[in-house]
């Protein structure tokens, strides 16, 4: 009786071992059989797609940063965005209105040119008012736009604000077209990279002029009085005045209605001070024009530095906000940028403004100082 039980146990173990070996073999054969039925390279697709997507984004950012003019930069944005959405279009925002500039996936590049877009309601309004990427349904968009271009198969759209000088200068519309496929995160990264680079391009252009160096005014017909629009910041979208607004009365018979005649920064400040009295809303009303200009430049430079930190550390920023230890995660980047800011403005009139510190708290911590963590110097 005992021998019988022992024999049974030996047989059970032997059978189990054989089945185990065959099961592993059958499992491998089954996997191979399934993979053989799939299209070539599908098995490696997830990892390859992730690596390829990152590589494509890096190349896209390089392409955007290779642009030296606003048109080159914006075209690179649209070209790059078209890899992450079937249809994209850029609308320039001026004086409360949005007008089409160029698009991809709508047929011709200029198919959306001068197409008005209602930004008083829907995702476009939310993107403008809150300066955040806003998903929505095509039914919420401007009816004129929908009637003219139709909508995506899945009806899902995304509107992204392109922010310059803390204002929405343009909106990027995106949808998935017939496939419905759209990568919102990649589109956000590309728009942020474009915003930062337009700021850099504008500041570089401004820095090329020596203080006090007069820029020759554009000659105008003798019958027309010369007009100067003075600005200490070169508007990257100045050349994109929509035709339907350009048709409004302009006293000079100029080919470009939105042409801006730039003057030196000192002359700009002096002219602005002479043409309009300082108001209580101007934080620099009580100081000299030269010092006020330095303060404004320092503010813009601080924003640019912090925007770059956000651009290249999005995951760390999100984690730092969530765990309230943002400074510890970004300490090296913050301190390097702080040193850059101090080198340029630490011994100027703007040093007292502490603009870099304020921008770190405003932009990175979203005005919540506790998010920076205990090790952040106040």
Digit-coded pLDDT (tens) for 31-59: 455 445 544 444 444 554 555 567 678 88
User: For residue 327, what are the CA distances in angstroms to 24, 306, 340, 375?
Assistant: 50, 13, 17, 7
pLDDT digits (tens, 9 = 90+) for 307-364: 889 888 888 999 999 999 999 999 999 999 999 999 999 999 999 999 999 999 999 9
Q: How confident is the model at residue 6 (pLDDT cuts 50, 70, 90)?
A: confident
- pLDDT tier at 202 (50, 70, 90 boundaries)? confident
Q: What is the pLDDT of residues 246-298, one digit of tens each?
A: 444 444 333 333 333 233 334 344 444 444 444 446 788 888 989 999 999 99
Q: Is the pLDDT of residue 373 over 90?
A: yes
Q: Pull the structure tokens for residue 330.
A: 């970004």
Q: Give this prediction's pTM.
A: 0.49
Q: Which stretches of 17-154 are assigned E, i.e. beta strand?
A: 87-94, 97-104, 116-117, 134-137
Q: What is the Cα–Cα distance from 178 to 327, expressed in whole angstroms?
A: 44
Residue 221 has pLDDT above 50, yes or no: no
Exposure string (b/e) for 201-226, b if CB count within 10 Å is 16 or more?
A: bbbeeeeeeeeeeeeeeeeeeeeeee
Structure tokens at 296: 């404004």
Which residues, other chains included, contact 100 with Cβ-Cβ below 8 Å and sequence gap of 6+?
89, 90, 91, 92, 112, 113, 114, 115, 116, 117
- Six-digit token pair at 36? 């053989």
Record the tokens describing residue 164, joined without a space: 């310059």
Per-residue pLDDT at 377:
80
CB 365, CB 321: distance < 8 Å = yes
Residue 287 DSSP class: S
Report the pLDDT value the prediction gives residue 267, as an integer from 0 to 100. 39
Backbone angles phi, psi at 170, to 5 degrees: -160, 165
Give the strand order in the sheet containing 97-104.
116-117, 97-104, 87-94, 167-175, 156-164, 134-137
132-171 per-position pLDDT tens digit: 899 999 999 999 999 999 999 999 999 999 998 778 999 9
pLDDT of residue 67 exceeding 90, the answer is: no
Residues linked to residue 160 through DSSP beta bridges, in sequence order: 172
Cα dist from 93 to 64, 96, 125, 174, 235, whole Å:
20, 7, 11, 16, 12
What lies within 8 Å, CB to CB, of 89 at 6+ separation is 100, 101, 102, 103, 104, 106, 112, 172, 173
Q: What is the pLDDT of residue 150?
A: 92
Q: What is the pLDDT of residue 210?
A: 46
The predicted structure's pLDDT at residue 35: 47
Residue-level pLDDT at 57:
82
The answer to whether 288 touches 273, Cβ cutoff 8 Å, is no
User: Which of 309, 293, 278, 266 minimizes the C-alpha distance to 353?
Assistant: 293
Nearest C-alpha neighbor of 362 from the set 306, 315, 298: 306
At 201 the pLDDT is 77
Question: What pLDDT, on a 0 to 100 scale, did the predictor assign at position 220?
Answer: 41
Helices and strands, counts by H and E, the chain: 12, 6
Could you tell me which of 97, 183, 106 has the C-alpha nearest to residue 142? Answer: 97
Q: What domains can be seen in the chain, in order of their start residue? A: 50-206 (3.30.450.40), 288-378 (no CATH)
pLDDT digits (tens, 9 = 90+) for 314-328: 889 999 999 999 999
């Amino acid at each position: 009786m005992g021998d019988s039980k022992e024999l049974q146990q030996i047989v059970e173990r032997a059978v189990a071992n054989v089945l185990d070996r065959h099961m592993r073999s059958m499992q491998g054969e089954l996997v191979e059989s399934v993979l053989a039925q799939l299209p070539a390279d599908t098995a490696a697709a997830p990892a390859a797609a992730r690596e390829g997507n990152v590589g494509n984004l890096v190349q896209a950012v390089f392409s955007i940063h290779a642009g030296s003019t606003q048109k080159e930069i914006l075209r690179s944005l649209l070209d790059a965005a078209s890899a992450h959405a079937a249809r994209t279009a850029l609308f320039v925002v001026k004086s409360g209105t949005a007008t089409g500039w160029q698009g991809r996936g709508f047929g011709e590049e200029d198919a959306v040119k001068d197409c008005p877009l209602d930004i008083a309601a829907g995702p476009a309004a939310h993107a403008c008012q809150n300066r955040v990427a806003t998903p929505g349904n095509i039914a919420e968009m401007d009816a004129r736009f929908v009637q003219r271009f139709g909508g995506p198969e899945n009806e899902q759209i995304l509107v992204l604000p392109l922010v310059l000088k803390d204002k929405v200068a343009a909106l990027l519309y995106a949808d998935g077209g017939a496939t419905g496929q759209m990568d919102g995160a990649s589109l956000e990264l590309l728009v942020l990279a474009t915003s930062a680079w337009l700021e850099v391009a504008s500041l570089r252009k401004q820095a090329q002029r020596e203080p006090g160096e007069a820029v020759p005014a554009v000659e105008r017909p003798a019958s027309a009085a010369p007009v100067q629009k003075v600005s200490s910041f070169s508007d990257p979208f100045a050349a994109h005045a929509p035709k339907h607004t350009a048709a409004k009365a302009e006293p000079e018979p100029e080919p470009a209605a939105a042409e801006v005649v730039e003057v030196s920064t000192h002359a700009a400040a002096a002219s602005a001070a002479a043409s309009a009295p300082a108001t209580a809303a101007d934080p620099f009303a009580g100081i000299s024009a030269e010092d006020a200009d330095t303060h404004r430049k320092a503010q813009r430079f601080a924003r640019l530095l912090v925007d770059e930190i956000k651009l290249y550390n999005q995951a760390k920023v999100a984690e730092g906000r969530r765990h309230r230890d943002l400074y510890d995660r970004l300490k090296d980047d913050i301190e390097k940028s702080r040193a850059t800011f101090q080198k340029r403005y630490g011994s100027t009139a703007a040093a007292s403004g502490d603009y870099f510190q304020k921008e770190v708290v405003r932009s990175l911590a979203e005005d919540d100082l506790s998010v920076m963590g205990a090790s952040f110097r106040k």
